[in-house]
Structure 1
Amino acid sequence: MNSTHSDDDCDILLSEEEAVPYFYTIYKKIFILVIIPIVAGLGILGNAALLFVVYRVPEMRTVTNFYLSNLAVSDITLLIITTIRFMWSYFNTPIEFAFSSFHFGCALVWLITYLCYFASVYLITLVTFERYLAICHPITHRMLKGRTWTVRMTISAWLISLVSASVCLHFYETETICIDWSNSTTFQNIAAKFVVCKAVTNCSWCWPTLAAIDFVQFVLAVILSSYMYGRIIYALSTRTGLTGETSSEKQTTILRTRNQIGRMLILNGIIFFICRGPNEIYNIDDFKYWLVGERMFESKTATTILWFSRVMWLLNSAVNPLVYSVSNQRYRRAFVEAFRRVDKRKKRSSSRNGNENIMISRS
């Protein structure tokens, strides 16, 4: 490489021209400065609102909503860590994914990112499984829907996600890049050293293994969920009533609610897998390159797919509360009720304070 820089601490020496691919393009700047703040802000508010509704409305404290609440926590965490990851890099250095001297940031960022990613996959599958049992195997569902079972399944999902994320963490490293700015008039006041968080380069099997771990878990979740979606749709389309000594009106209400929740979760799951699909296409391309030395896409196309997959990741984490409220009347009523209770409490508090002030003035 053409560089006059001679620092023993550097892993890679680059000239200014060779460093160009590491710089932020206009599209990446739009993603970081426009898309991330908007999507992350809306997603954090929406998911926080869902958690608030489940907390405030007792009727919403169901098994399904317990899983969805954990999914909301995962989405909020992913949105926050993604925002910090890109903003830290952008405002500290002109180099993409540089962490300045913050070496620990590489491990922390990717551990949390993969933890939330895998947790969301397992939690979506758990939600589907819970609805599958409720609609297709109601007797089994009544036996397993207790708090102990639900908590155990949730903890298991997070633990498996943590193990998977810890394995993936070994495939990332920090690398010190030195750039020669001696002939530059634009970057003379910028540091010449950058610590870049990147995939391991001296390991031919590491990145394909990472892609395989991600892809296999995703495909298994798709297969299982597709099977359960099919059974749920069939059961909803063929069931006409409920057994037991229940009034006709109550049966109709229960069936309508159950059907709405079932359809909502199917829609939510389909959106989830569609949003995560571009990332898996990118993984397949990487895996093919490792096997046969050829890629399905040109370099520019692969980069476009990568950044598009990042946009879809963020959208998926932000869109879930919108899906719940748009597709299910029960959730819309719960949102209104939760925030109406807050408004009533504020009015009572204001009225009480006003009465106290009147009593004080009279005395």
Structure 2
Amino acid sequence: MAENITNERNFNLNQELDQTDLECLERFNQSLQYYNATRYLTAEETSKYGYTSGQIFSITVLLPLILTFGLLGNFCFIFVSVRVKYMHTVTNRYLVSLAIADIIFLVSAIGPKIWCYTKSPLHGDDSPLGAHGCVWTFFLSDTAYFASLAFTTLVSCDRYLAVCHPRNPRSCANFKLSSTQLIISTWILACVLAASLTPGNSQLVFYCYKWAPISPYDKWPSTIRYCLPSKTWMVSYALGLQTVPFFVSLILNFIFYLSIVRGLDGSIKRLSQKGSRMSHRDTRVRNQIAKMLVLNGVVFFCCLAPFEFISLFHMVASARNEYLIRNEKAKTYITLFARVLSYINACINPVIYTVMCDRYVQAFKYAFCSPISNACRNNNNTNSNTSAKELVHLQTLVE
């Protein structure tokens, strides 16, 4: 530890220390973390460490809206899936797990940014998180990320099997049991992968600055902390482990989507030859659900793609000891745009469900309307026989 500290310092210990150095050394001794000597900055250099107007708008307006909308939407979908009986399907089990992963991601990714903004005027300052916050914040967001990749792929695989290889109804109970085991295994694997990335953000490093002696910089704290890798090679490892599963999942889902489209085309041709009215209704329901899930997957990967490509290029650039984007302002806004897209991805799924599939709209209406409105209850009683038949029929279709 002492050797590392000595290597990090950029000033001569024999020179006289000013008050900023003494305060920084005192905090360093209390925290027992890596310490970097005081840097003296001009007003122009100091301004770069604060929040820009775009970042302030993002953290105070955009991100809270995304967080609120995402939490409400995903919690509503979970409530509907639990309350409405015909929503108890294998596909919806995966979608509920995906909604849980989205909730965890939104809270662990957006929450700390808002918290740090309220506690420190310095952009990127991880001091409010503390050493434990560095570990848990990234662990939860990484776990949710890996889980969302897996559950999106599982949903695509489930719809592929339903369209291209329909199951025997007698095997549904056994498949539900295996789907539960698969969901538990997915969460365990996501936690393991996320845990392997924790050294990439586990070191809380101290930096000391002496800001320009003008307002508002004279009121800024003299220290700033960053959650950094404990080893330099952890940067490339973390970027690689983040991007490789994304592209593997992207390829698998593309294959599933292509097979689903072909399977639906073949199913429509076969049923049109038979001319069965019930079969045409079955086809319509299956097509709606399959198209909804394919669109859900396409939006998922389109929203994550910008950030993943940035991570991929950054991994290549860091391996060559080069800079991906030299312009700091451009780098900030490009990264912000990619991150906002990933946040939107975590809250857009319930919107797709309700827009693309009538049955999900009916489920939402039934779940939120029936326990509150007498009119809804009367309407449900009037159409009870028809609704019961449709619920049973739908359950056989979506399984």
TM-score by length of 2: 0.79
Q: What secondary structure, in the 3-state scheme, does the structure 1 residue paired with 2:225 have? A: strand
Question: Pick from 75, 82, 85: which aligns with 1:55?
Answer: 82
Give 4+ residue runs of structure 1 displaced > 4 Å after superposition.
Answer: 1-4, 345-348
Consecutive unaligned residues in structure 2, runs of 5 or more: 1-9, 12-16, 29-33, 378-399
**Amino acid of the structure 2 residue aligned with 1:22:** Y
**Amino acid of the structure 2 residue aligned with 1:73:** I
The aligned residue for residue 195 of structure 1 is 225
RMSD: 2.6
Cα deviation, 1:68-88, whole Å, max 9, x if unaligned, reads 111111111221222321111
**Amino acid of the structure 1 residue aligned with 2:177:** T
**Amino acid of the structure 2 residue aligned with 1:38:** L
Question: Pick from 160, 164, 168: which aligns with 2:197?
Answer: 168
**Amino acid of the structure 1 residue aligned with 2:319:** L
Indicate whether 1:328 and 2:357 are aligned.
Answer: yes
The aligned residue for residue 217 of structure 1 is 245
The aligned residue for residue 118 of structure 1 is 146
1:346/1:93 Cα in 2 relative to 1: closer, same or farther (>3 Å)? farther
The aligned residue for residue 106 of structure 2 is 79
Aligned residues: 344
**Amino acid of the structure 1 residue aligned with 2:302:** I
Indicate whether 1:302 and 2:331 are aligned.
Answer: yes
Contact 2:46 2:211 in 1 (8 A): no
Contact 2:250 2:301 in 1 (8 A): yes
**Amino acid of the structure 1 residue aligned with 2:107:** I
**Amino acid of the structure 2 residue aligned with 1:338:** A
Q: What secondary structure, in the 3-state scheme, does the structure 2 residue paired with 1:298 have? A: coil
Matched residues, percent identical?
A: 28
* Of 140-149 and 23-32, the range deviating more from structure 2: 140-149
Cα deviation, 1:248-286, whole Å, max 9, x if unaligned, reads 333222221111111111000000000001111111221
Contact 1:288 1:295 in 2 (8 A): no
Question: Pick from 83, 92, 104: which aligns with 2:119?
Answer: 92
The aligned residue for residue 267 of structure 2 is 239
Q: What secondary structure, in the 3-state scheme, does the structure 1 residue paired with 2:208 have? A: strand
Tell me how far 1:241 sits from its aligned partner. Answer: 7.1
Q: What is the rounded CA distance, in whole Å, between the counterparts of 1:342 and 1:63 in structure 2?
A: 26
Indicate whether 1:15 and 2:43 are aligned.
Answer: no
**Amino acid of the structure 2 residue aligned with 1:307:** L
Tell me how far 1:298 sits from its aligned partner. Answer: 3.5
Q: What is the rounded CA distance, in whole Å, between the counterparts of 1:315 and 1:23 in structure 2?
A: 25
Indicate whether 1:137 and 2:165 are aligned.
Answer: yes
Q: What is the rounded CA distance, in whole Å, between the counterparts of 1:347 and 1:140 in structure 2?
A: 36
Contact 2:370 2:376 in 1 (8 A): no
Tell me how far 1:35 sits from its aligned partner. Answer: 0.7
**Amino acid of the structure 1 residue aligned with 2:66:** V
Question: Pick from 181, 187, 198: which aligns with 1:158?
Answer: 187
Q: What is the rounded CA distance, in whole Å, between the counterparts of 1:44 and 1:248 in structure 2?
A: 43
Q: What is the rounded CA distance, in whole Å, between the counterparts of 1:346 and 1:14 in structure 2?
A: 69
The aligned residue for residue 104 of structure 1 is 132
Tell me how far 1:133 sits from its aligned partner. Answer: 0.8
Question: Pick from 321, 331, 343: which aligns with 1:314?
Answer: 343
**Amino acid of the structure 1 residue aligned with 2:102:** D
Tell me how far 1:247 sits from its aligned partner. Answer: 10
The aligned residue for residue 341 of structure 1 is 370
Consecutive unaligned residues in structure 1, runs of 5 or more: 349-363
Question: Pick from 289, 292, 307: which aligns with 1:279?
Answer: 307
Tell me how far 1:327 sits from its aligned partner. Answer: 0.8
Q: What is the rounded CA distance, in whole Å, between the counterparts of 1:285 and 1:184 in structure 2?
A: 39
The aligned residue for residue 354 of structure 1 is none
Indicate whether 1:183 and 2:210 are aligned.
Answer: no
Contact 1:71 1:124 in 2 (8 A): yes
Q: What is the rounded CA distance, in whole Å, between the counterparts of 1:345 and 1:115 in structure 2?
A: 43
Contact 2:204 2:225 in 1 (8 A): yes
Contact 2:108 2:138 in 1 (8 A): no
**Amino acid of the structure 1 residue aligned with 2:221:** A
* Of 139-148 and 79-88, the range deviating more from structure 2: 139-148
Contact 1:177 1:193 in 2 (8 A): yes
Question: Pick from 33, 54, 59: which aligns with 2:60?
Answer: 33
* Of 212-221 and 288-297, the range deviating more from structure 2: 288-297
Q: What is the rounded CA distance, in whole Å, between the counterparts of 1:141 and 1:163 in structure 2?
A: 35
Q: What secondary structure, in the 3-state scheme, does the structure 1 residue paired with 2:218 have? A: coil
